[in-house]
Amino acid sequence: MLPAGPRRGRLAEPVPEASPDADGTRAVAGLRPAYPGGAATVDGGPADRGTGRGPVPAHLVRSGGVRAGSALRDGVDRLLPVHGELRSLLPEGGLRRGATVSVAAATGGMSLLFALLGAASSGGEWCAMAGVPEVGVLSAAEYGVVPERFALVPYPGPEWWTVVAALLDGFGLVVARPAGPVSPVLARRLAARTRQRGAVLLVHGDWPGADVAMRCSDPVWEGLDAGRGRLRRRALTIEATGRGAAARPRSTRVLLPSGRTGPGSVAPLPAAAPEVTVPEGFGAADEAVG
């Protein structure tokens, strides 16, 4: 009988050396984290070499305490849901994991960001927001954002991008407001990080090379009849364009907010009352009698 030797298998192979990655972090070939922010996973197939993320302790890899990433990726939806009236603005009808979406810092921009978070948050996704100190958690909750799964970093500091990169490691949707102009190089690095982590980066402001760029315009509030009353809802136009499948401009006019909460917080405009044409001469006899 041959003497017992070390078991041979792909988990017993030496752990590859880490190599610098495009975003300045270090990747370990064959290793990747479960999305989002979960334990690391292993893929030993040649096609997956160099695409994963690390670092992972070598003893976990050799002990078999790390599951195959292919078994986990099959159970992760590629698209995150959005409220119904926003689907027509996105080329795939939802927020694609790995995408970067910018929302112009204009009237209605923050409401649109909350609306983009709402459906995914209600479905169990974790969300984070950095660099927006004036954010109202109750306002976010009206759009479906669950406060218990909503992390806030009001003041990320001058190196805000390092905070955003860390949030992308553990949250499915991350909202960031840059502290100043963003260079194309920095934008590419954070976009690469977003793709690698399978998250969605939502930017409040301009962003070079965004996959989808959205803007609100033409706001009209309802509720101030005859100069007094209470603001109830707002009609505005949302325009979207971008790269690739999102290059074709899209627009829709909705109520945002609509005066309702949750999925109904974004609603279509009510149908206008049909115009009634009065026949010529109708009512002339009454006028003569009067």
pLDDT tens string 84-128: 999 999 999 999 999 999 999 988 999 999 999 999 999 999 999
pLDDT recorded at residue 168: 97
Helix, strand, coil percentages in the chain from 3-state DSSP, rounded to 5: 30, 25, 45
Identify the pLDDT of residue 190: 97
**Is pTM, for the whole model, over 0.95?**
no
- Give exposure, 36-74, as e/b (b: 16+ Cβ within 10 Å): beeebbbbbeeebeeebbbebeeebbbeeebeebeebee
Residue 161 has pLDDT above 90, yes or no: yes
- At 227-241, the pLDDT tens digits run 777 888 899 999 999
Q: Does the structure show a pLDDT above 90 at 170?
A: yes
Where do the domains of the chain lie?
10-73, 79-268
DSSP letter string, 32-78? EEPTTT--EEE--SGGGTT-------HHHHHHT-S-BHHHHHTTS-S
**pLDDT of 130-158, one tens digit each?**
999 998 899 999 999 999 999 999 999 99
Q: Is the peptide bond before 36 cis (omega within 30 degrees of 0)?
A: yes
The pLDDT confidence band at residue 208, using thresholds 50, 70 and 90, is very high
Q: What is the pLDDT of residue 67?
A: 44
pLDDT band (50, 70, 90) for residue 30: very low
CATH of the domain spanning 79-268: 3.40.50.300
86 near 266, Cβ under 8 Å? yes
Which pLDDT tens digit goes with each residue over 33-63?
A: 333 433 333 333 333 434 444 454 555 444 4
**Residues 12-29, mean pLDDT to the nearest whole number:** 41
What pLDDT score does 22 carry? 46
